[in-house]
Amino acid sequence: MDTTSLLARGQKKPASIKILHAISLLLPGDWLKSFVFLNCIHRPRKLLRSLLFDFYRMDHIYDVIKEFTGNYQGNFSILEFGVAEGYSFVKKLYATRYLKCENRITIHGFDSFEGMPKDSGRCDQGLHAGDSWVEGQYQSDFKALVDCCAARYENFQLHKGMFDATITEDFVDRLRHTPPILVWIDCDYYTSAKIVFERILPALPSGCVIYFDEPYFNYGSRFTGEARLIHEINAGLLGEGIELVPDLALSLASNRIYRFINLNASIGYEPMEKRFSAEDRLLRNNGSPFP
């Protein structure tokens, strides 16, 4: 809320505004005032906000793994669609090692490793000339990535080929024994991401975490890219009772992370212990704000 709004409501100026005004009085000329404000006040504030609140896409990997391995029984899968050179793939592998759960989580990576395919029209294209991905972009060395991962890890599988060929019914059936806890969508195109969801839908339990890497393509327009798929799923694309719910604790203000919900899901996670009981009681304590 700005100062004008505060004064209109009869409230005093905040101390921060008074301090800024006092500094302004000490500086001669608009140029010097503007230079000092932009470089000594605005820039540090912007940097501090960035350090505290900006989203970093590797943070949630550890939170998700700890949540599911700490609260649910059995083994799990993490699925990454759009691996390229494996930058984020190897970080997921190391996360399972650091958290000592390599024996419980298998990480699957899907990519053609031949670069971006040709787009399928306006739903995959940028709004401005030169803003679209190009065929062959992000081409990578499949064998080099396999060798790199195999030298250090065993809990992974890399699936080479187009999604409609590698996400087979047999693979989806096997996921029922190791349900996905994190689906990482980094395939950029709306059409590619749509194929992914249509194929893996039977193996997705409610509560599974879905990460989108490019929801801001074309300013986050619901007519293109991953943002279009999010909008369509919540409008009923995959059926009644299916939606993507923003997880604000994991995604902060980024709109990148969601919880998959399917009221008719045939697969679920098995809790380690019951969360609720008829014996539960919430007792009185004290009248202060302290718990």
Q: Which two tokens stand for residue 223?
A: 């007519």
Tens-level pLDDT at each residue, the chain (291 residues) = 555 555 555 577 889 899 999 999 999 999 999 999 999 999 999 999 888 888 898 999 999 999 999 999 999 999 999 999 999 999 999 999 999 999 999 999 999 999 888 888 888 888 887 788 788 888 889 999 999 999 999 999 999 999 999 999 999 999 999 999 999 999 989 999 999 999 999 999 999 999 999 998 999 899 999 999 999 999 999 999 999 999 999 998 888 999 999 999 999 999 998 888 888 888 888 888 888
**CA dist., res. 104 & res. 69, Å (int):** 8
Determine contact, residues 205/269, Cβ cutoff 8 Å: yes
Instruction: Check residue 217 and report its DSSP letter.
Output: G
Place of tokens 């709306």: 190
Residues 6+ away with beta carbon under 8 Å from 242: 201, 233, 236, 260, 261, 262, 263, 264
Task: Could you list the beta-strand ranges (E) of 33-83.
Answer: 76-81
Q: CA gyration radius for the chain? A: 24
Select 59-262's CATH number: 3.40.50.150, 3.40.50.2300, 3.40.50.300, 3.40.30.10.
3.40.50.150
- What pTM value is reported for the model? 0.85
**CA dist., res. 138 & res. 186, Å (int):** 12
**CB count, 10 Å around CB of 203?**
24
Which sequence spans correspond to the domains of the chain?
3-53, 59-262
